[in-house]
């Protein structure tokens, strides 16, 4: 491109201005585009480590700790990798937090048990009450992650962050999602805005609440979603961003006695009363209906549920449908039948809340319904 200059003095003036402007934009451009590594933080020294937030990582197993085996492509064993190895496999964690790691269990989370729940709850409460940690990260299988997260959100008395994290691919797989998920979970755990948000799940750049999150896909890395309440926020390898104010939670004491038996009955066409009668014979203290649509089921099954409620069994209508609230007194007269509508809670979460309510002596349908509403 050529520039024609009209007179010598103007030419000289204009050339100087042009050169000066070019220098400024070049310099500004360089600073603006200087790659992140040019501003890399110096490695943390012992003093800096000491100043970092203290995060206790509790490992329970799951795919995130899985390793491939020779059964064929995609096959793997859950929980094969230990807590310490998980932490040391993630570069950069030491710049975020001063981490300690403990093994609570080494299971596929389909085998999650009340005993492990108790171990997690007491270990976390102790760590917070005795000032051992500023936050806790739990590595966990995704199959029952939502139930453990919701359970902990109800029984922990703290405003410190607890973050559950898992993965959909084992550590040995192509595109293993575990290391980045652990890194992001620690980022969220130490973020100042995480305080007071209760128990959260962090997976694949997304932050979800314990109440809202559920597993929505059997294999996708984006499986954890909050269909009814929406995500709390988003995280990438440099930022944590919350997009909602912290919701209020509720606290329920975790008694020493074993949690009461609460069955989930899955509704389907041509539904009879047999499963419900078996639950009553099994001395279930609560029955959660995974109903069709807005928590519906057949007349025969409804009659059996009314009988159960009349005997003092807590009956909660939830839905097998993946999204939407189950509302009171729409196609079913909950007030007449003594039923509870699960609102936003899916069957597996409705079961957790029902167990803890019964364990705390809350069985009156009106009181149970208030707890399900939880200020919603
Ligand atoms: N065995 C399942 C579990 O531990 C695998 C699913 C996973 O962890 O992502 O929940």
E strands of 252-324, at which residues?
Answer: 262-266, 286-291, 314-319
- Report the nearest atom of ligand 1 relative to the CA of 79: 4
- Report the nearest atom of ligand 1 relative to the CA of 145: 10
Catalytic residue among 4, 15, 45, 63: 63
Alpha-carbon span 45 to 369, nearest angstrom: 53
Catalytic residue among 139, 142, 158, 319: 142
DSSP-derived pairing of the beta strands 314-319 and 286-291 = parallel
DSSP-derived pairing of the beta strands 67-68 and 76-77 = antiparallel
- Which residue CA neighbors atom 1 of ligand 1 most closely? 108
- Report the nearest atom of ligand 1 relative to the CA of 167: 9
Pick from 351, 262, 276, 331: nearest CA to 306 = 276
Ligand 1 centroid–CA 44 distance in Å is: 34
pTM of the predicted structure, to 2 decimals:
0.87
Is 142 a residue of the active site? yes
What's residue 77's pLDDT? 76
Which residues does ligand 1 sit against, CB inside 6 Å?
Answer: 62-63, 78, 108-110, 141-143, 166-168
Dihedral angle over CA of 191, 195, 201, 207, nearest 10: -60
Alpha-carbon span 203 to 222, nearest angstrom: 7
- Element (H or E) spanning 341, and its range? strand 340-341
CB of 160 within 8 A of CB of 293? Answer: no
State the DSSP string of 81-124.
Answer: S-HHHHHHTSTTHHHH-EEEEEEEEEE-GGG--HHHHHHHHHHH
pLDDT in tens, 30-58: 333 333 333 444 444 566 666 899 999 99
Query: pLDDT tens string for the chain (376 positions)?
Result: 333 333 444 455 545 555 555 554 444 443 333 333 334 444 445 666 668 999 999 999 999 998 877 666 667 777 778 999 999 999 999 999 999 999 999 999 999 999 999 999 999 999 999 999 999 999 999 999 999 999 999 999 999 999 999 999 998 899 999 999 999 999 999 999 999 999 999 999 999 999 999 999 999 999 999 999 999 999 998 899 999 999 888 999 999 999 999 999 999 999 999 999 999 999 999 999 999 999 999 999 999 999 999 999 999 999 999 999 999 999 999 999 999 999 999 999 999 999 999 999 999 999 999 999 986 5
Residue in the block written with tokens 């100043």: 51
The two tokens of residue 34 are: 């200087």
Alpha-carbon span 144 to 18, nearest angstrom: 65
CB of 85 within 8 A of CB of 59? Answer: no
Of 66, 145, 203, 215, best ligand 1 pocket probe by most atoms within 8 Å of the beta carbon: 66
What's residue 74's pLDDT? 67
Dihedral angle over CA of 145, 151, 155, 156, nearest 10: 20
Of 64, 109, 176, 213, best ligand 1 pocket probe by most atoms within 8 Å of the beta carbon: 109
pLDDT in tens, 294-317: 999 999 999 999 999 999 999 999
Ligand 1 centroid–CA 108 distance in Å is: 5
Ligand 1 centroid–CA 147 distance in Å is: 13
The two tokens of residue 28 are: 């500004």
- Which residue CA neighbors atom 3 of ligand 1 most closely? 141
Is 28 a residue of the active site? no
- Which residue CA neighbors atom 8 of ligand 1 most closely? 141
What's residue 43's pLDDT? 46
**How many residues belong to the chain?**
376
Grouping H, G, I as helix, E, B as strand and the rest as coil, residue 60 is strand
Grouping H, G, I as helix, E, B as strand and the rest as coil, residue 318 is strand
Alpha-carbon span 256 to 303, nearest angstrom: 35
Of 64, 110, 171, best ligand 1 pocket probe by most atoms within 8 Å of the beta carbon: 110
Question: Which is it for the CA torsion 273, 274, 275, 281, positive or negative?
Answer: positive
């Amino acid at each position: 491109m050529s520039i024609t200059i009209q007179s010598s003095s103007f030419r000289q003036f204009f050339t100087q201005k042009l050169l000066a402007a070019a220098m400024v934009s070049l310099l500004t451009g360089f600073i603006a585009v200087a790659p992140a590594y040019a501003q890399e933080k110096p490695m943390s020294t012992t003093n800096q480590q000491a100043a970092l937030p203290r995060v206790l990582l509790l490992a329970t197993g799951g795919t995130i700790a899985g390793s491939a085996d020779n059964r064929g492509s995609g096959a793997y064993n859950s929980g094969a990798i230990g807590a310490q190895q998980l932490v040391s496999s993630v570069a950069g964690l030491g710049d975020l937090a001063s981490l300690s790691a403990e093994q609570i269990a080494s299971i596929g989370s389909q085998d999650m048990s009340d005993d492990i729940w108790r171990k997690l709850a007491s270990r976390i409460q102790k760590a917070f009450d005795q000032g051992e940690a500023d936050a806790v990260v739990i590595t966990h299988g995704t199959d029952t992650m939502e139930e453990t997260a919701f359970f902990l959100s109800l029984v922990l008395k703290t405003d410190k962050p607890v973050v559950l994290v898992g993965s959909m691919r084992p550590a040995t797989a192509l595109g293993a999602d575990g290391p980045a998920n652990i890194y992001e979970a620690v980022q969220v755990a130490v973020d100042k805005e995480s305080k007071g948000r209760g128990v959260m799940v962090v997976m694949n750049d997304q932050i979800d609440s314990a109440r809202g999150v559920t597993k929505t896909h059997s294999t996708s890395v984006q499986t954890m979603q909050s269909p009814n309440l929406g995500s709390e926020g988003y995280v990438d390898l440099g930022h944590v961003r919350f997009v909602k104010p912290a919701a209020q939670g509720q606290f329920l004491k975790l008694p020493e006695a074993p949690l009461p038996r609460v069955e989930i009955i899955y509704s389907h066409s041509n539904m009879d009363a047999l499963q419900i009668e078996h639950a009553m014979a099994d001395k279930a203290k609560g029955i959660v209906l995974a109903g069709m649509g807005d928590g519906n089921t057949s007349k025969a099954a409804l009659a059996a549920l009314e009988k159960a409620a009349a005997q003092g069994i807590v009956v909660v209508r939830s839905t097998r449908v993946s999204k939407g609230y189950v509302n009171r007194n729409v196609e079913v007269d909950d007030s007449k039948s003594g039923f509870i509508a699960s609102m936003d809670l899916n069957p597996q979460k409705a079961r957790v809340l029902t167990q803890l309510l019964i364990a705390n002596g809350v069985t009156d349908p009106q009181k149970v319904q208030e707890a399900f509403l939880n200020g919603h």
